[in-house]
Structure 1
């Protein structure tokens, strides 16, 4: 499997970059109490922060809103996933635990203020291409709705789009049966490659401490557009 960034993304934003982690031999289950506790505590602390600071004042949220607009989508109509989570927490509508992979993905997305997605490797067909969605980019999302992804960054395989920093599809969702996964970290454009790689190492280490298995990772950017898994 090859993961590749389309050149058109760099024509719009030359500093665009993402992190990719590949996990193998993992065990997904109900989240350990430690993870549930950290997720709950972080949300409670964030709720109090949001009483004095608006969602759009957080650096990561702000940067991804600007990128969203640059690619041609309306950040007020189609909010990226992390902003949507922050707005939920501002209303004390806290995220309830689902399973270990989703819970740690949500926790890290909140902590680093960036969208993240995790996908079952065996439900992805062929290579993965990251490109802007068009009028035909539609899928049933984890939000229970059919989502149109025009001018939104999408992950696509031979069957079509399956993921984005907006909402992910039902088709490639990780479950407790997943043993191999691909995690996409939508890094801030302002982050340099070295810091991005350090962040991926931290994320991968924390993920495998909970799920076992092993991981490899890389940062894709204009000088390193594709990676073989």
Structure 2
């Protein structure tokens, strides 16, 4: 398991932050029918019970948006991933199908409102991550987004540089069909409450759909 620490600047900007990480051995697949039955059921539930204007009021999403403001980013221009995913479904656009690990993380993010980093653990450089705030001109290639301006965004860094923000993870550490170890990091800008449930949800889905034993859990703040 990796060690995860918080920088002084993120502690000052987001004093209520708490996080949880799940590290597990997995077998990824291109598509999983059972998982997509769960995704489609959630989509139907969300679109039938939620209004577009209520999405940003969901507690975990609202807390992440507030963290963006505190760190110096406009959450209307750089949306947290959980908010972006829910807005996509509310517009009638189906969730994109990538692979089982990515789809699984997206489902947990949709259900909980947490923006969750999903990394190929074997691509992370070193054994420690630090959560800080992005700097002007800091290099970061968002998955499917090209070069991303992460100045003012919360960012996890390994020995080489940034690997994940609540808006997008980095191409360098992204998961693929070759991934055999996952590190999933749940960002709790709304505090500790709900983190254990989110980690348990990730573990349950990993057991059901990737042949994993659920792996290890690390809480940090």
In structure 2, C-alpha distance between the alignment counterparts of 1:10 and 1:151, rounded to whole Å:
14
| TM-superposed deviation, 1:31 | 3.0
| TM-superposed deviation, 1:52 | 7.1
Is contact 1:141–1:167 with CA below 8 Å preserved after alignment? yes
How many residues were matched structurally? 218
Post-superposition CA distance 1:63-82 (Å, at most 9, x none): 22112212221111111111
Is contact 1:17–1:187 with CA below 8 Å preserved after alignment? yes
Q: Equivalent residue for 1:93?
A: 93
In structure 2, C-alpha distance between the alignment counterparts of 1:35 and 1:75, rounded to whole Å:
30
The TM-score with structure 1 as length reference comes to 0.88
Q: Equivalent residue for 2:115?
A: 115
Q: What runs of 5+ residues in structure 1 fail to find an aligned partner?
A: 222-229
Q: Equivalent residue for 2:209?
A: 210
Is contact 2:131–2:155 with CA below 8 Å preserved after alignment? yes
Q: Map residues 1-229 of structure 1 onto 2, 5 A cutoff.
A: 1-24=2-25, 26-51=26-51, 54-126=54-126, 127-192=128-193, 195-214=194-213, 215-221=215-221
In structure 1, C-alpha distance between the alignment counterparts of 2:52 and 2:87, rounded to whole Å:
14
Classify the secondary structure of the residue corresponding to 2:66. Answer: helix
Is contact 1:119–1:182 with CA below 8 Å preserved after alignment? yes
The TM-score with structure 2 as length reference comes to 0.91
Name the CA shift for 1:32/1:10 in 2 (closer, same or farther; >3 Å). same
| TM-superposed deviation, 1:140 | 1.5
Is contact 1:135–1:149 with CA below 8 Å preserved after alignment? yes
Is contact 1:197–1:218 with CA below 8 Å preserved after alignment? no
Q: Give RMSD over aligned pairs.
A: 1.8
Runs of 4+ in 1 over 4 A off after TM superposition: none
| TM-superposed deviation, 1:185 | 0.6
Q: What runs of 5+ residues in structure 2 fail to find an aligned partner?
A: none
Name the CA shift for 1:69/1:52 in 2 (closer, same or farther; >3 Å). closer
Is contact 2:124–2:173 with CA below 8 Å preserved after alignment? yes
| TM-superposed deviation, 1:2 | 2.9
